[in-house]
């Protein structure tokens, strides 16, 4: 039986874990031989807050300014900088990034859609956009609501590339 890593999984390289070489060392995957195809990813998440915090945001009364516009821009900027944040991500030329913020009861639902034409997918860029938008919402409102909770950040959809399409259940 091979030795196990800190999670109790066998410590052997797996063809499914492409960021590990034959010796089990992390490396950036070589995508130079892959064909450029249209890629799309959609991620989502939410931030839960007190109803009065949401009302403050929607009325434009937040002390730090336009919370929704700032969070949207933060998400877009984060998608563009994903390779600087996630060590083994490829720097990509993104075709589009949208960040939608939908107030709903005591929460703001965040959805990011990212597209490119390239040799690797944009899932990490979409997830990073949602994360940064949620963190920005928290940062801009923490003075009035420190109990906000960021939750359920996940990939909803990805298309393009060799592995095909994915849609969350």
Task: For residue 139, indicate whether it is catalytic.
Answer: yes
Inter-residue long-range contacts of 81-90, CB under 8 Å, 24+ positions, other chains counted: 81/128, 82/124, 82/125, 82/128, 85/128, 86/124, 86/128, 87/26, 88/19, 88/26, 88/27, 88/28, 88/29, 89/124, 90/28, 90/29, 90/31, 90/119, 90/120
Query: What would the two tokens of residue 131 be?
Result: 């994360």
**141 annotated as ligand-binding:** no
**125 annotated as ligand-binding:** yes
Query: What would the two tokens of residue 157 be?
Result: 């959809």
How many whole angstroms separate alpha carbon 16 and alpha carbon 29? 12
How many whole angstroms separate alpha carbon 158 and alpha carbon 147? 32
**123 annotated as ligand-binding:** no
Among residues 66, 139, 145, 165, which one is catalytic?
A: 139
**92 annotated as ligand-binding:** no
**6 annotated as ligand-binding:** no
Residues annotated as catalytic (active site), given as ranges: 139
Binding site for substrate: residue ranges?
88-90, 124-125
């Amino acid at each position: 039986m091979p030795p196990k890593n800190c999670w109790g999984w066998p410590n052997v390289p797996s063809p499914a874990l492409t960021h590990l070489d034959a010796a089990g060392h992390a490396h950036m995957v070589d995508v130079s031989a892959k064909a450029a195809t249209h890629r799309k990813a959609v991620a989502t998440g939410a931030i839960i807050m007190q109803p009065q915090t949401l009302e403050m945001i929607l009325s434009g009364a937040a002390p730090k300014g336009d919370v929704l516009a700032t969070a949207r821009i933060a998400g877009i900027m984060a998608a563009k900088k994903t390779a600087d944040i996630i060590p083994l991500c490829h720097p990509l030329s993104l075709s589009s990034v949208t960040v939608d913020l939908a107030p709903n009861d005591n929460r703001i639902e965040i959805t990011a859609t990212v597209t490119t034409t390239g040799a690797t997918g944009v899932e990490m860029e979409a997830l990073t956009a949602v994360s940064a938008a949620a963190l920005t919402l928290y940062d801009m409102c923490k003075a009035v609501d420190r109990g906000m909770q960021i939750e359920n950040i996940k990939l909803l959809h990805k298309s393009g590339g060799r592995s095909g399409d994915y849609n969350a259940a």
